[in-house]
């Protein structure tokens, strides 16, 4: 069963290649979704996939070199699947 998760990262997460690194990490998992900068200086990530893949992907982001930039990660569960996305993209 596919699930969707959103995570909003705060800290020093803009201007450090965060979105590009997240996209590279996503390539190693069976997930679809996107990542984007928000005007308030945070980064929002949305991912859809099997629960085990989603959790492994989000754990990989947190334990990667990006972890040093993250002050807080607020997770939320999305009801229903995200709109169809092929692959994992950076949104502007």
Distance CA 28, CA 72 (A): 23
Distance CA 69, CA 3 (A): 27
Instruction: Point out the catalytic residue in the list 5, 36, 37, 91.
Output: 37
Q: Is 6 among the catalytic positions?
A: no
Q: Is 37 among the catalytic positions?
A: yes
SS3 content of the chain, % helix, strand, coil (to 5): 30, 40, 30
Instruction: Point out the catalytic residue in the list 19, 36, 74, 78.
Output: 19
Residue 11 tokens, joined: 């800290």
Q: Name the residues annotated as catalytic.
A: 19, 37
């Amino acid at each position: 069963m596919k699930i969707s998760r959103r995570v909003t990262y705060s800290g020093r997460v803009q201007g450090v290649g965060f979105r590009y690194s997240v996209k590279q990490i996503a390539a190693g998992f069976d997930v679809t979704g996107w990542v984007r900068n928000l005007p308030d200086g945070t980064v929002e990530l949305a991912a859809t996939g099997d629960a085990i893949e989603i959790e492994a992907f989000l754990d990989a982001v947190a334990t990667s070199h990006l972890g040093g930039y993250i002050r807080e990660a607020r997770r939320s569960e999305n009801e229903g699947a995200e709109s169809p996305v092929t692959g994992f993209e950076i949104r502007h």
